[in-house]
A and B are shown apart, each in its own frame.
Chain A
Amino acid sequence: MIRRLLPLFIFLLLLGFLFQSLYNKDTELPSPLIGKPIPAFNLKNLITEEEHSSHEIIGEVSLINVWATWCVGCEMEHEFLVDLSQDKRIDLPIIGLNWKDDDRLAKLWLKQLGDPYSIVLKDPKGKAAIDFGVYGAPETFLVDSSGIIHFKHIGPLNREIFERDILPLIGELN
Chain B
Amino acid sequence: MIKKSVICFFVLICFSAIKANELNSNDQIRYQSLIQEVRCLVCQNQSVAESNAELAKDLRREIKLQIQDGKSNSEIKKYLLDRYGEFILYEPAFTQKTLFLWFSPIILLLMFYGWFRKIGN
A5-31 interface mask toward B, CB cutoff 8 Å, 1 = contact, 0 = none?
Answer: 000000000000000000000000111
- Chain A contact residues: over half helix, strand or loop, or mixed? loop
CA distance A130 to B81 in the complex (A): 11
State whether the Cβ of A131 lies closer than 8 Å to any Cβ in chain B: yes
A133 touches B85 (CB 8 A): yes
State whether the Cβ of A114 lies closer than 8 Å to any Cβ in chain B: no
Instruction: Count chain B CB atoms within 10 A of each CB in A31, A32, A33, A136 and give the residue with the most.
Output: A32
B84 touches A100 (CB 8 A): no
CB proximity to A under 8 Å, residues B73-115: 81-85, 87
Number of contacts between A and B (CB, 8 Å)? 40
CA distance A31 to B82 in the complex (A): 9
- Chain B contact residues: over half helix, strand or loop, or mixed? helix
Given A135-B42, A136-B42, check contact A126 B83 (CB 8 Å). Answer: no
Interface band, chain A: 10 to 19
Given A130-B59, A136-B42, check contact A32 B54 (CB 8 Å). Answer: no
Instruction: Count chain A CB atoms within 10 A of each CB in B62, B84, B87 and give the residue with the most.
Output: B84
CB proximity to B under 8 Å, residues A100-129: 100, 125-127, 129
List the B side residues contacting A100 at CB < 8 Å: 54, 58
Total interface residues in chain B, CB < 8 Å: 14
CB proximity to A under 8 Å, residues B41-93: 41-42, 54-55, 58-59, 61-62, 81-85, 87
A153-166 interface mask toward B, CB cutoff 8 Å, 1 = contact, 0 = none?
Answer: 00000000000000
A130 touches B42 (CB 8 A): no
A29 touches B87 (CB 8 A): yes
List the A side residues contacting B41 at CB < 8 Å: 29, 135-136
- Select A127's contact among B42, B62, B82, B87, beta carbons within 8 Å: B62
Other than the given A29-B41, A135-B42, 12 more pairs (CB < 8 A) read A29-B84, A29-B85, A30-B85, A32-B83, A33-B82, A33-B83, A100-B58, A125-B61, A126-B54, A129-B58, A130-B62, A132-B83
A-B pairs with beta carbons under 8 Å apart, 22 shown: A29-B41, A29-B85, A29-B87, A32-B81, A32-B82, A32-B83, A32-B84, A32-B85, A33-B82, A33-B83, A39-B83, A125-B58, A126-B58, A127-B58, A130-B59, A130-B62, A131-B83, A132-B83, A133-B84, A135-B84, A136-B41, A136-B55
